[in-house]
Chain A
Amino acid sequence: MRVPPGVSAGDFAAAIAAFERIVGKDWVFTSDDDLNLYRDAYSPYLNEPEERIASAAVAPTTTEEVQEIVRVANRYKIPIYPISTGRNLGYGGAAPAYSGSVVVDLKRMNRILEVNERHAYALVEPGVSYFDLYNYIQEHKLKVWIDCPDPGWGSPVGNSIDRGGGYTNANFRNHFDSHCGMEVVLPDGELLRTGMGAIPNSQTWQAYKTGCGPWVDGIFSQSNYGVVTKMGFWLMPQPEAYMRCTVRAPRFSDLGPLVDTLSYLENSRITTGFPDLSSPLLSYPPIGQIQLWNENGPPKLSDEHIKLLADVKQGYSAELEAYGVKEGIPYWELWLSFYGPMEVIEASWRATQRHYGKIDGVQFRVVDKLNLPIDPSTAEKYHEPELGVPSLRIFSIGARTPWNPTPSHGHMWFSPIIPRTAEAIIEANRVFSEAARDLGMPLFKTFTLPACFWERSFVFILATPVTEDPATNKRYREGFKKLIEVGGKHGWGEYRTAPAFQKTVMDQYSYNNHALQRFHETLKDAIDPNGIMSPGRYAIWPKSLRGVQS
């Protein structure tokens, strides 16, 4: 049996026996075969000694069982690591941040406690996946939409706790922002409800976020201050209609007005769906079309076009631009989505076109115009999450296809937040492509466009492959850390990262001699004196391990 570091075999055996009494023998896992299922399938340390491995896993079904597990962990000083659906691929999978931790697998806590159509919210347990919630809503014919990330097997709770993002309206895409009310088992086993939930018999737990006094919800995301056992989420009332349109701009220099106008339109709530930047001329897809490109191959380019692409520098080439103008291939194409009554959508689209009218040679097209709901069987004609439908289709990224004969074993997402400007896009391309080239990381083809998950910023996402070759993985891993540092020097930081990189990322958040990190540690010591809860998650270590671990 594996034993957590610093724990005696006797104490561990006693803890395991106690866990078995709490959840039953069938739901405590200690064999290597069973624990392999908790490894991160996309680990950047795949099959290397540093790969994070659990010493056991325990799978409760109720909040009371979670409380008991936490008390046992305190009694024997056992590090535990709660996961919800454990599908955090690309950001750490189901593996603990600290090797030897006992994973508390909440997948069996899978009750949908309420879906309220009248007030458009849901209250769920951690094991409820996006597929589960979607199916429940369909079966009960409720007129509300979920906002899901691309992979539908993750959970509202797990995804939002790691502050993931989705694809419908702006006020739902930021999954942590769209939550309302939490129930948390604290590291000493105490039970806490946040916001209005702190009032016994609260009538508005899922209706008003902050309650009164300090709003503490944020500290339970990307942290290690508790086990979240329930969470409320605001849902979008099923919209009447959907329209997807594009704005095409002919010249490289149009990127500035394209982005600035987008910011104005989004911040004014004129366009609210997921904005998606692409470049037909650079053959760079919008995120919503990636799966189609993987399935059907990228659009065919002429020989001349391919030749011109070879000479592009930092996304620009005068010859390519001239070719685009001649052939009617736009440099940029911004995809916009609108939800609502058709007359409102049409008016928003008219206003959008008026604002973009200042770009010389701009063109507009309406790609889809749908009355909702659509028949779910036709959802695959679209990027499903933009219609509130979960799927796993995005796993075509890196998968074997006729266009990708060498499938990968996974990827780690490099995802710094950069300013929402054309200058920042160009600067990030220059900075990261030069660094990646020097580090021998094949991350850039011609140019990378950022994702617009959230208003007011961009996420500059680069997928770094995981291979079966430890030497290659080592090079990418070290390169990944260098890229994080390079970003930090430019004032950019990751929005989220896998345990392997959490220290490097958090080191960039160093204002005033790491005041933020020190505050995290002060909290940690106060809330979790035994240091049992997810040690090391987002580089927050308990006192006993501080400075020892990296």
Chain B
Amino acid sequence: MMRMRRTLGGPAAAAAIMSLIVAPAFAQRPAGHYAAGRAVYRKWCAPCHDPGITHPGTHALMTKYKGVKSGVLLEWTDLPASTVKYMVRHGILLMPPFRKTEITDQELDALARFLSRNTPGGR
């Protein structure tokens, strides 16, 4: 019943460094494959996570990773779909979780596919 909120620890930092070495594997998908996920991103994530410090999620991640990796989720190459799903349903620090009436499981799948598109083996 307890929902403990966690910060991403060592493994994420290690993955961040890995991502500098491993070239991003841009998945070859037909145009439109990510449209649904992108739409969910635009509606629910972009206000806090689009590029630039006027987006508090981005600013927080920039501050956290201090240039080791980008603060912009869209640019991440070490963001597995499972992490996207976990964050959306658990929240972290000031980011609250999102209910299924806001982002359905199906929409979350699409979002996770979209945000993990540049992550090797990210599914």
Interface residues of A (CB under 8 A from B): 27, 29, 32-34, 36-39, 41-42, 47, 53, 57, 59, 86-87, 89, 93-94, 105, 107-108, 127, 131, 152-153, 291, 294-296, 380, 391-393, 395-396, 398-402, 405, 407-410, 468
Which of B48, B91, B100, B101 gathers the greatest number of chain A CB atoms within 10 Å? B101
By beta carbon, the residue of chain B nearest A410 is B94
CB contacts (< 8 Å) of A37 on chain B: these are 89, 97-100
* Selected contact of A393 from candidates B54, B98, B102, CB within 8 Å: B54
A468 to B6 alpha-carbon distance, docked (Å): 10
Are the C-beta atoms of A36 and B64 separated by less than 8 Å? no
Interface of chain A, main secondary structure: loop
A380 to B63 alpha-carbon distance, docked (Å): 20
Closest 7 CB pairs of A and B: A41-B96, A107-B101, A392-B47, A400-B60, A396-B56, A395-B56, A37-B99
Are the C-beta atoms of B5 and A393 separated by less than 8 Å? no
Contacts A/B (CB < 8 Å), 9 sampled: A37-B89, A47-B4, A294-B56, A295-B59, A392-B47, A393-B55, A399-B93, A399-B94, A400-B59
By beta carbon, the residue of chain A nearest B2 is A47
A153 to B47 alpha-carbon distance, docked (Å): 10
By beta carbon, the residue of chain A nearest B49 is A392
CB contacts (< 8 Å) of A392 on chain B: these are 47-48, 56
By beta carbon, the residue of chain B nearest A110 is B101
Chain B interface, number of residues (Cβ within 8 angstroms): 30
Q: How far is the CB of A81 from chain B (nearest CB, A)?
A: 14
* Selected contact of A93 from candidates B5, B93, B96, CB within 8 Å: B96
CB contacts (< 8 Å) of B47 on chain A: these are 131, 152-153, 391-393
CB contacts (< 8 Å) of B89 on chain A: these are 33, 36-37
Are the C-beta atoms of B94 and A398 separated by less than 8 Å? yes
The reply on B53 being an interface residue by CB < 8 A is yes
A399 to B97 alpha-carbon distance, docked (Å): 16
CB contacts (< 8 Å) of B48 on chain A: these are 392, 395
User: 1/0 per residue B30-65: CB within 8 Å of A?
Assistant: 000000000000010001100001111101100110
With A89-B96, A409-B5 as known contacts, state yes or no: A396 contacts B102, CB within 8 Å.
Answer: no
By beta carbon, the residue of chain B nearest A468 is B5
With A392-B48, A409-B93 as known contacts, state yes or no: A105 contacts B56, CB within 8 Å.
Answer: no
A310 to B86 alpha-carbon distance, docked (Å): 44
The reply on B21 being an interface residue by CB < 8 A is no
Q: How far is the CB of A105 from chain B (nearest CB, A)?
A: 5
CB contacts (< 8 Å) of B93 on chain A: these are 399-400, 407-409
Q: How far is the CB of B56 from chain A (nearest CB, A)?
A: 4
The reply on B27 being an interface residue by CB < 8 A is no
CB contacts (< 8 Å) of B60 on chain A: these are 399-401, 407
A127 to B102 alpha-carbon distance, docked (Å): 10
Interface residues of B (CB under 8 A from A): 1-5, 43, 47-48, 53-57, 59-60, 63-64, 89-91, 93-102
CB contacts (< 8 Å) of A89 on chain B: these are 96
Q: How far is the CB of A280 from chain B (nearest CB, A)?
A: 23
Are the C-beta atoms of A107 and B91 separated by less than 8 Å? no
By beta carbon, the residue of chain A nearest B101 is A107
A431 to B123 alpha-carbon distance, docked (Å): 56
With A34-B100, A152-B47, A398-B94 as known contacts, state yes or no: A393 contacts B56, CB within 8 Å.
Answer: yes
A236 to B94 alpha-carbon distance, docked (Å): 32
A86 to B47 alpha-carbon distance, docked (Å): 18
Are the C-beta atoms of B54 and A295 separated by less than 8 Å? yes
CB contacts (< 8 Å) of B98 on chain A: these are 37
CB contacts (< 8 Å) of A33 on chain B: these are 89
Are the C-beta atoms of B99 and A38 separated by less than 8 Å? yes
A408 to B98 alpha-carbon distance, docked (Å): 19
A402 to B56 alpha-carbon distance, docked (Å): 12
Are the C-beta atoms of B56 and A39 separated by less than 8 Å? no
CB contacts (< 8 Å) of A32 on chain B: these are 1
Q: How far is the CB of A217 from chain B (nearest CB, A)?
A: 26
* Selected contact of B97 from candidates A36, A291, A402, CB within 8 Å: A36
Are the C-beta atoms of B94 and A105 separated by less than 8 Å? no
* Selected contact of B101 from candidates A53, A59, A410, CB within 8 Å: A59
A302 to B100 alpha-carbon distance, docked (Å): 50
Are the C-beta atoms of A53 and B59 separated by less than 8 Å? no
CB contacts (< 8 Å) of A108 on chain B: these are 101
Q: How far is the CB of A87 from chain B (nearest CB, A)?
A: 8
Are the C-beta atoms of A41 and B97 separated by less than 8 Å? yes
A153 to B89 alpha-carbon distance, docked (Å): 17
CB contacts (< 8 Å) of B57 on chain A: these are 395, 399
Q: How far is the CB of A56 from chain B (nearest CB, A)?
A: 13
Are the C-beta atoms of B3 and A29 separated by less than 8 Å? no
* Selected contact of A401 from candidates B1, B63, B99, B102, CB within 8 Å: B63
CB contacts (< 8 Å) of A408 on chain B: these are 93-94
A393 to B52 alpha-carbon distance, docked (Å): 11
* Selected contact of B56 from candidates A27, A41, A399, CB within 8 Å: A399
CB contacts (< 8 Å) of A405 on chain B: these are 63
* Selected contact of A47 from candidates B3, B54, B56, B90, CB within 8 Å: B3
* Selected contact of A41 from candidates B1, B91, B101, CB within 8 Å: B91
Are the C-beta atoms of B3 and A409 separated by less than 8 Å? no
By beta carbon, the residue of chain B nearest A41 is B96
By beta carbon, the residue of chain A nearest B46 is A392
By beta carbon, the residue of chain A nearest B66 is A402
A380 to B53 alpha-carbon distance, docked (Å): 11
With A409-B93, A410-B94 as known contacts, state yes or no: A39 contacts B54, CB within 8 Å.
Answer: no
Are the C-beta atoms of A107 and B102 separated by less than 8 Å? yes
By beta carbon, the residue of chain B nearest A35 is B1
By beta carbon, the residue of chain A nearest B52 is A380
Which of A33, A37, A57 gathers the greatest number of chain B CB atoms within 10 Å? A37
Which of B43, B55, B64, B96 gathers the greatest number of chain A CB atoms within 10 Å? B96
Are the C-beta atoms of A407 and B53 separated by less than 8 Å? no
With A47-B4, A409-B94 as known contacts, state yes or no: A399 contacts B100, CB within 8 Å.
Answer: no
Are the C-beta atoms of B99 and A400 separated by less than 8 Å? no
Which of B1, B43, B89 gathers the greatest number of chain A CB atoms within 10 Å? B1
* Selected contact of A105 from candidates B3, B64, B95, B99, CB within 8 Å: B99
A503 to B4 alpha-carbon distance, docked (Å): 28
Are the C-beta atoms of A107 and B99 separated by less than 8 Å? yes
